[in-house]
Structure 1
Amino acid sequence: MIGLLSFINWNVDPEIFSLGPLSIRWYGLLFASGFLLGYYIGERMLKSENVNQKWIDSLFFYIIIATVVGARLGHVFFYGWEYYSQHPAEIIKVWHGGLASHGGALGILIAMYLHSKKVTKRTMLWTLDRIVVPTALVAAFIRTGNLMNSEIYGIQTTMPWGFVFERNAETVAKHPTQIYEALCYLLSFVILSFLYWKTNVKNRPGFLLGAFFVLIFAARFFIEFIKEDQEAFEAGMALNMGQWLSVPFVLGGALLIYRAMKKPERVFKNS
């Protein structure tokens, strides 16, 4: 009996159904569902602070565009430049796969800077402190989508929860690192939600953003040790690309938390 339960055969079809040329995939459904739920949570948070509804609507428009564009360009430049430099037309074909969370994070940072300047007229940190709470939950949905695509998984394992990704012609169990990351991101969401609703740290600009960076990217850094290389150039690296890109976020997050605790609380009043 133990032998029968020593691994999980995973052969889920990434496509739910198709209507002619249009196909509905689990990844896209989870991606969209995550954003809709994130919008609901973020709207509830901002309404509790009596924020203008127009700010809320424009904020999430900025976020969606920044996430998709940033994550795609992050994948292109950080992981696949050798290929995309020779096939530039493929860059816009997001539906073929290839999104990098680090690029998405950078895209959101840029978008929130623009939103703060053009819309809210508040500090960029005020905006970022609030959006990172639902963003952690969205990240968990996206990693679950990666599981449904049988992609971004780990190295061989003998643990009983190992997955044999049959759609990729795997014959041995691998670490389901998509699940590890999704659970870490879900826990991060719970922690950030507690900090937002039950403490006053939202009045310390940069604290929640710093906590998000530390929680999300520290988890990413350690999980990468048991994840298969995403690109061939990572084969001889002591730390892979995902880890090198995570280090600045973790250090920056720790600095943001330190600075936030050194400064007095700041409460914004709506005009």
Structure 2
Amino acid sequence: MMLLNHIVWNVDPEIFSLGPLSVRYYGVLWALSFLLGYMLFERFVKKESLPEGYLDSLTIYVAIGTIVGARLGHCLFYEPAYYLSNPIEILKIWRGGLASHGAAIGIITALYLFSRKTKRPTIYILDRIVIPVALAGVLIRLGNLMNSEIYGVETSLPWGFKFVRDFPMGTPIEHIPAMHPTQIYEALAYLAGFVILYLIYKKSDAKPRPGLLFGIFLIVTFGTRIVIEFIKQPQVGFEADMTLNMGQWLSIPLVIAGLVFIYFAYKRKKA
């Protein structure tokens, strides 16, 4: 019996187009992440009897924080010289270039502003928002897979993916190396994180220790990023000669912060 030694991946990232309008898997999965996040947080709102309109306002803050933070994060962390010299290019988000670290900073900033408006502690919102955010991370990485982007280095493992669309049309399959599907690795890690966070929230009867869920989210999400970056292709040229790449350096303080949040979550009294 012949054993599978690679997976040929040649999915068209575009689902369909109508004139200039193009509908792509990545965009659909981004939209789905917000929809599912909204539906999930709606359950929290009902369970905790939060004020009417709370979720709608929160969604607007998170959406703006995510998009602005992710875009600025990519532009300023990975290609600052280019984008500072061509600031108008920052607005061209449809050309790609979003960074999860920037999204994290954007969301935290947005939630801080939202907490001031609603008079609730920022950590209260963070502990709940990270549950749908973890689920969104799964969908976004699947979007990267559909785009045949952000994958790993060459591998001989049987589940290695041959990303056909990253090579000139007509390139023989045997000339295309199999790569680690790091998008799937990350998606599975984030899915595990989502399940853990949701179960802790549910087990605590919607009253988790303040900072506990946020701390776990930081450790799972960015700890995963540190590990997987070792087998991921560099996102930008300057990372090629770095022992730890930009994503890993940005992840380390977030993992440390996660440990600190968990430590203080168990030191203070339960909410």
TM over 0.5: yes
CA distance in 2, matches of 1:111, 1:9: 41
Greater than 3 Å deviation, 4+ residue runs: 200-203
CA distance in 2, matches of 1:199, 1:205: 11
Please state if 1:259 is matched with 2:264: yes
Spell out the pairing of 1:53-132 with structure 2 (5 A cutoff).
Answer: 53-118=52-117, 120-132=118-130
Q: Say which of 141, 159, 165 aligns to 1:143.
A: 141
Spell out the pairing of 1:182-261 with structure 2 (5 A cutoff).
Answer: 182-199=187-204, 202-261=207-266
Deviation digits for residues 111-132 of structure 1 (CA, Å, limit 9, x no counterpart): 01000001x2011000110100
CA distance in 1, matches of 2:79, 2:13: 23
CA distance in 2, matches of 1:58, 1:40: 14
In the alignment, what sits opposite 1:22? 21
CA distance in 2, matches of 1:202, 1:136: 19
Displacement of 1:235 after TM fit?
1.0
- SS for the counterpart of 1:85 is helix
Displacement of 1:201 after TM fit?
7.9
- SS for the counterpart of 2:11 is coil
The two structures, once aligned, show a CA RMSD in angstroms of 1.2
CA distance in 2, matches of 1:114, 1:62: 8
Kept in 2: contact 1:146–1:152 (CA 8 A): yes
Spell out the pairing of 1:158-169 with structure 2 (5 A cutoff).
Answer: 158-169=156-167
CA distance in 2, matches of 1:132, 1:187: 13
Kept in 1: contact 2:48–2:206 (CA 8 A): no
CA distance in 1, matches of 2:80, 2:17: 32
In the alignment, what sits opposite 2:2? 2
Q: Which amino acid aligns with 1:112?
A: L
- Describe the shift of the 1:243–1:201 C-alpha distance in structure 2 as closer, same or farther (beyond 3 A): farther
Structure 1 alignment gaps of length 5 or more: 267-271
Kept in 2: contact 1:201–1:208 (CA 8 A): no
Displacement of 1:46 after TM fit?
2.1
Tell me the percent identity.
Answer: 57
CA distance in 2, matches of 1:87, 1:171: 35
In the alignment, what sits opposite 2:34? 35
CA distance in 2, matches of 1:163, 1:2: 18
- SS for the counterpart of 2:48 is coil
Q: Which amino acid aligns with 1:35?
A: F
Displacement of 1:177 after TM fit?
0.2
Displacement of 1:200 after TM fit?
5.7
CA distance in 2, matches of 1:166, 1:149: 11
Deviation digits for residues 184-210 of structure 1 (CA, Å, limit 9, x no counterpart): 001100000000001268442111101
Please state if 1:180 is matched with 2:179: no
CA distance in 1, matches of 2:158, 2:79: 33
Kept in 2: contact 1:202–1:208 (CA 8 A): no
TM-score (norm 2): 0.95
CA distance in 2, matches of 1:189, 1:238: 30
Displacement of 1:53 after TM fit?
2.7
Q: Which amino acid aligns with 2:34?
A: F
